């Protein structure tokens, strides 16, 4: 099978189906909705480098969603690292939304639902690392996934040229060289994760203060209490509201927004779970402290771009309906893939990572 998967020699009426199968073959199963009315064009060059799957992707604008159903079909734990080489990418995972511009690195976890939006023609270099290769904890990994990193400094600056070289020259490496490069890339990414974790914990005196972490723990322990507020948090810690706000000045988010963001994240995760006796949207909202269903629906849509019920449907359905959703034509993947080469308002958080060059635009 050719490592080059391109729409160039595919009949126009089969191109969208081809692209869906190409993405599943080279990356992971996802739902795809294309943007615009022009005939879709895209290509993926994919290789193995040691234990890594590496791909160079270039395509017209489209949107990707990976739901719980897709994860069930391909449950292998993989961490994706992408280098934006042209255009932009909007990544949404775990209730956070970031924008990657050219030369940015962005990271996501394939075992949790995510969305990728490519609003214009773009190109990226993507590496999938098996989770078991990373010697970091799940908590540490979460500090990096769903995030964007500037490659101007730090570990990201070291990782960028290595990732670009590994993807661009994958076909020329000997097996022993490929293994060594895979291990090296893995080690540098692990260092980036450690750097991200340390940066989140030691970004200033306010972040270093263990009190800030105690406040976050208190908020997480009381999310279901509708009365949770800056005033109640300050009272529980025997401090003034003014001092509480001062502690969080360097966190990039106010206490009120932190409470709302954490509530929305828990609601989003619970809505994404499948089950025959799934709780109602309103009961989930109430469980996490939202008293007014209309208010909940409004802030949820503001943060995630979809109403709660549509989010649940998107996350639990392999085929999220849409007028231009890719359809699968009646041909086997080997026949298709063997073709020769030819989202400062309520519910939104401000940027908080010293490494993020793309602003977080959703909570």
Decide which of 119 and 265 is more confident.
Answer: 119
Question: What are the backbone angles phi and psi of residue 270, rounded to the nearest 5°?
Answer: -70, -35
Alpha-carbon distance values, 50 to 272, 328, 341 (Å): 34, 31, 24
pLDDT of residue 250: 61
Within 10 Å of residue 250's Cβ, how many Cβ atoms?
15
pLDDT of residue 316: 64
Q: Is the pLDDT of residue 350 over 70?
A: no
Q: Contact 355/196 with Cβ under 8 angstroms?
A: yes
Task: Assign 355 a pLDDT band (cuts: 50, 70, 90).
Answer: very low
Within 10 Å of residue 279's Cβ, how many Cβ atoms?
14
Give the Cα separation of 107 and 116 in Å (integer): 11
- Average pLDDT on 252-261 reads 85
Classify residue 338 as exposed, middle or buried by CB count within 10 Å of its CB (0-12, 13-18, 19+).
exposed
Task: Assign 200 a pLDDT band (cuts: 50, 70, 90).
Answer: low
Q: Is the pLDDT of residue 158 over 50?
A: yes
pLDDT of residue 360: 37
Q: Cα dihedral sign for 276, 277, 281, 284? A: negative
Q: Is the pLDDT of residue 205 over 50?
A: no
Query: What's the whole-number average pLDDT of the chain?
Result: 80
Give the Cα separation of 22 and 43 in Å (integer): 9
- Average pLDDT on 188-200 reads 80
Sequence-distant (≥ 6) Cβ neighbours of residue 53 within 8 angstroms: 26, 27, 46, 47, 78, 127, 128
Sequence-distant (≥ 6) Cβ neighbours of residue 40 within 8 angstroms: 7, 15, 16, 19, 34, 59, 60, 62
Query: What secondary structure does DSSP assign to 216-274, as a single string?
Result: HHHHHHTTT-TT-SHHHHHHHTTS-HHHHHHHTGGGTS-HHHHHHHHHHHHHHHHHH--
Within 10 Å of residue 13's Cβ, how many Cβ atoms?
9
Decide which of 241 and 362 is more confident.
Answer: 241
Radius of gyration over every alpha carbon of the chain, rounded to an integer in angstroms:
21
Within 10 Å of residue 74's Cβ, how many Cβ atoms?
15
Q: Contact 97/91 with Cβ under 8 angstroms?
A: yes
Q: Is the pLDDT of residue 353 over 50?
A: no
Per-residue tokens: 117:
């939006």
Helices in 46-168 by DSSP H: which ranges?
A: 68-73, 138-142, 154-168
Sequence-distant (≥ 6) Cβ neighbours of residue 97 within 8 angstroms: 90, 91, 343, 360, 361, 362
How much is the pTM? Answer: 0.59
Within 10 Å of residue 314's Cβ, how many Cβ atoms?
22
Nearest to 150, CA basis, from 109, 214, 106, 197 = 106
- Average pLDDT on 104-132 reads 95
Decide which of 52 and 344 is more confident.
Answer: 52
Give the Cα separation of 189 and 129 in Å (integer): 10
State the first-to-last Cα distance of the chain, in angstroms, to the nearest integer.
42
The single residue listed with the structure tokens 């961490």 is: 79
Q: Is the pLDDT of residue 214 over 70?
A: yes
């Amino acid at each position: 099978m050719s490592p080059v998967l391109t729409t160039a020699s595919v009949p126009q009426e089969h191109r969208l189906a081809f692209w869906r199968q190409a993405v599943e073959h080279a990356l992971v199963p996802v739902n795809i909705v294309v943007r615009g009315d022009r005939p879709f064009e895209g290509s993926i060059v994919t290789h193995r480098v040691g234990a890594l799957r590496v791909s160079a992707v270039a395509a017209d604008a489209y949107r990707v969603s990976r739901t719980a159903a897709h994860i069930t079909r391909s449950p292998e734990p993989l961490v994706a690292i992408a280098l934006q080489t042209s255009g932009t990418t909007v990544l949404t995972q775990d209730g956070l939304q970031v924008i990657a511009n050219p030369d940015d690195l962005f990271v996501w976890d394939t075992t949790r639902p995510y969305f990728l939006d490519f609003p214009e023609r773009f190109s990226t270099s993507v590496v999938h690392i098996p989770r078991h290769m990373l010697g970091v904890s799940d908590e540490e990994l979460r500090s990096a996934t769903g995030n964007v990193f500037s490659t101007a400094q730090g570990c990201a600056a070291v990782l960028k040229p290595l990732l670009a070289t590994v993807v661009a020259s994958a076909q020329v490496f000997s097996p022993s060289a490929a293994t060594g490069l895979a291990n090296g890339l893995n080690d540098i990414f692990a260092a980036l994760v450690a750097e991200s974790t340390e940066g989140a914990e030691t970004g200033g005196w306010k972040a270093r203060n263990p009190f800030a972490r105690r406040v976050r723990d208190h908020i997480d322990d009381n999310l279901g209490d509708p009365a949770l507020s800056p005033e109640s948090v300050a009272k529980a810690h025997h401090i003034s509201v003014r001092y509480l706000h001062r502690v969080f000045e360097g966190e990039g988010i106010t206490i009120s927004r932190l409470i709302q963001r954490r509530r929305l994240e828990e609601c989003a995760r619970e809505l994404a779970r499948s089950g025959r006796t799934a709780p109602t949207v309103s009961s989930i909202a109430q469980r996490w402290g939202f008293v007014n269903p209309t208010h909940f629906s409004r802030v949820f849509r503001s943060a995630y771009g979809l109403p709660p019920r549509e989010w649940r449907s998107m996350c639990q359905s392999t085929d999220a309906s849409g007028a231009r959703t890719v359809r699968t034509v009646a041909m086997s993947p080997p026949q298709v893939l063997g073709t020769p080469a030819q989202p400062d308002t309520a519910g939104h958080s401000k940027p908080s990572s010293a490494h993020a060059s793309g602003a977080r635009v959703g909570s």
